[in-house]
Amino acid sequence: MRRREFITFVGSALVVSPIVAHAQQNRKVPHIGYLMDRSGPPGMLDNGFFDGLREHGYVVGQNVEIEYRWTDGKTERLSALARELVDSKVDIIIVAGADSTKAAKAATTTIPIVMASSQDAVGDGLVASLAHPGGNVTGRSVYAPELTSKRIEILKEMFPTLARVGVLWNKENAGAGGQLREAETTGRALGVSIESLPVQIPDGLDEVMARAAQVGAGAILIVSDSSTISNRAKIGSSALQHHLPTIFANKTYLSGGGLMSYGPDIVESFRLSVVHVDKILKGANPANLPVEQPTRFEYVINMRTAKALEIAVLPALLVRADSLIE
């Protein structure tokens, strides 16, 4: 589905970067293309981006406009939607995740691309390096594979007899491999077997949760991407149905009923991505703008889900948690 929506904020005028000036010769304000591999309209994650726009003084219709493209869960549409934005001569493209970034990169080598979030920007081949991304892509890399190790360690601490962990990942997610490999490496060190659970989201979730229970998984680690975030409630309810504890990459998921999360604040990442947008629209070259990483990670426990699963959370974990959902 193609949608063009406009959201208005309070702000001031801006100076247009030479790198995007070619698209603005015949219009007064720059256009932002917003390409997301999930359904619209804008939701929780996008609100972070809108907050960033407000903070930097952007007003849609006055000094910036936004063109939205949503895949509505059909990842195969990314290439066509990216091309639509390029053909519309947008001045910058906002993406999230490896698939969206790769689709935008394939569609243009000149229009700047800003990642509101990505799993492993270097490992997924999205940029040359974090310090010197090169090309037309920059932004934020928030889901480094090594964080997966920490999540496996937390599960083992929560459940000392844990012998098998299922790693649930969207089989359309090109960036999931790094986290799966990290989980396997950490699992070997901790004596925990890792069960790979590729899934078609959302239709295959109940089936894969049933499979996880059948093979004796004691917990499920969910690899984050746009589709798993959008379907967090279905993931949470399906896991509860099969009595499976879950751990996620950020606290946004826990509103869907997950048990725990460890990672950066993804809404904050969307907000901070506007720092890159602002610099580019004011003249910076994305090739020279370092890809930023989060500096703070949150450990959150959903006590309501713990109660539903009849889990007695260890006092040591309660003390370490940054917040508890009561």
Residue 13's pLDDT band, with cuts at 50, 70 and 90, is very low
The yes-or-no answer to whether 18-142+265-288 and 146-263+297-325 have a common fold is yes
Q: What local confidence, expressed as pLDDT, does residue 18 receive?
A: 43
Cα-based distances in Å from 100 to 172, 174, 288, 302: 11, 10, 21, 31
Phi–psi pair at 18, nearest 5 degrees? -60, -30
Q: What is the pLDDT of residue 159?
A: 97
Instruction: Please say if the pLDDT value at position 238 is more than 90.
Output: yes
| The Cα angle at residue 60 between residues 87 and 98, in degrees rounded to 5 | 50
Q: What percent of the chain stands above pLDDT 90?
A: 75
> How many H-runs (helices) and E-runs (strands) does the chain carry?
11, 12
Pick the residue with more confidence: 64 or 12? 64
> For strand 31-36 and strand 92-96, is the pairing parallel, antiparallel, or unpaired?
parallel
Residue 12 has pLDDT above 50, yes or no: no
Residue 96: is it exposed, middle or buried by C-beta count within 10 angstroms (0-12/13-18/19+)?
buried
Write the DSSP symbol of residue 256. G
Whether the CB-CB separation of 280 and 310 falls below 8 Å is answered with no
Q: Encode pLDDT of 23-57 as tens digits.
A: 444 457 899 999 999 888 998 889 999 999 999 99
Q: Of 15-24, 175-184, 205-214, 246-255, where does mean pLDDT reach its minimum?
A: 15-24
* pLDDT confidence of residue 7: 35
Supply φ then ψ for residue 32, to 5 degrees: -100, 125
Q: For residue 71, give Cα distances in angstroms to 34, 79, 92, 222.
A: 11, 10, 19, 21
Confidence (pLDDT) at 123: 85
Mean predicted confidence (pLDDT) in 82-102:
96
Q: Tokens standing for 131?
A: 């310090």
**pLDDT on residue 59:** 80
Confidence of residue 11 (pLDDT cuts 50, 70, 90): very low
Average pLDDT over residues 93-108: 95
Mean pLDDT across 66-77: 92
Task: Give the pLDDT of residue 17.
Answer: 43
Q: How far apart are CA 213 and CA 220, in angstroms?
A: 10
- Sheet bearing 246-248, strands edge to edge: 193-199, 164-170, 219-222, 246-248, 260-263, 298-302, 323-325
Residue 154 has phi, psi (to 5 degrees) of -65, -45
CATH superfamily to which 18-142+265-288 belongs: Response regulator (3.40.50.2300)
What is the per-residue pLDDT for 6?
37
Longest CA pairwise span in the chain (Å): 65
Please report the pLDDT score of residue 308 as a whole number.
96
**Confidence (pTM):** 0.84
Indicate whether 175 pLDDT > 80.
no
d(CA 196, CA 163): 14
Average the pLDDT over 238-259 and give the result.
95
21 has pLDDT over 90: no
Q: What is the pLDDT of residue 179?
A: 87
* Predicted pLDDT at 124: 86
Give the pLDDT confidence score for residue 221 in this predicted structure.
98
**What does DSSP say about strands 260-263 and 298-302: parallel, antiparallel, or unpaired?**
antiparallel
pLDDT at 73: 81
In degrees and rounded to multiples of 5, residue 284 shows phi and psi of -75, 150
- Tell me, which fold does domain 146-263+297-325 have in CATH? Rossmann fold (3.40.50)
Q: State percent of the chain over pLDDT 70.
A: 91
Q: Is the pLDDT of residue 1 over 60?
A: no
Higher per-residue pLDDT: 104 or 74: 104
* 136-164 average pLDDT score: 93
Rounded distance between C-alpha atoms, residue 293 and residue 291, angstroms: 7
Contact residues for 256 (Cβ-Cβ < 8 A; gap 6+): 231, 232, 233, 234, 235, 236, 237
The structural domains of the chain, with segments of one domain joined by +, span 18-142+265-288, 146-263+297-325
CA-closest candidate to residue 293, choices 127, 167, 74: 127
Q: What is the full DSSP assignment across 65-117?
A: EEEEEE-TT-GGGHHHHHHHHHHTT-SEEEEESHHHHHHHHHH-SSS-EEEEE
pLDDT computed for residue 44 by the predictor: 86
Q: Tokens representing 156?
A: 């083992």
Q: Which of 19-33, 129-143, 207-221 has the lowest mean pLDDT?
A: 19-33
- Enumerate the H helices of the chain as residue ranges: 44-55, 78-87, 98-107, 146-158, 176-190, 205-214, 226-230, 232-241, 266-281, 303-308, 315-320
pLDDT recorded at residue 269: 95
Tokens matching residue 155: 């599960």
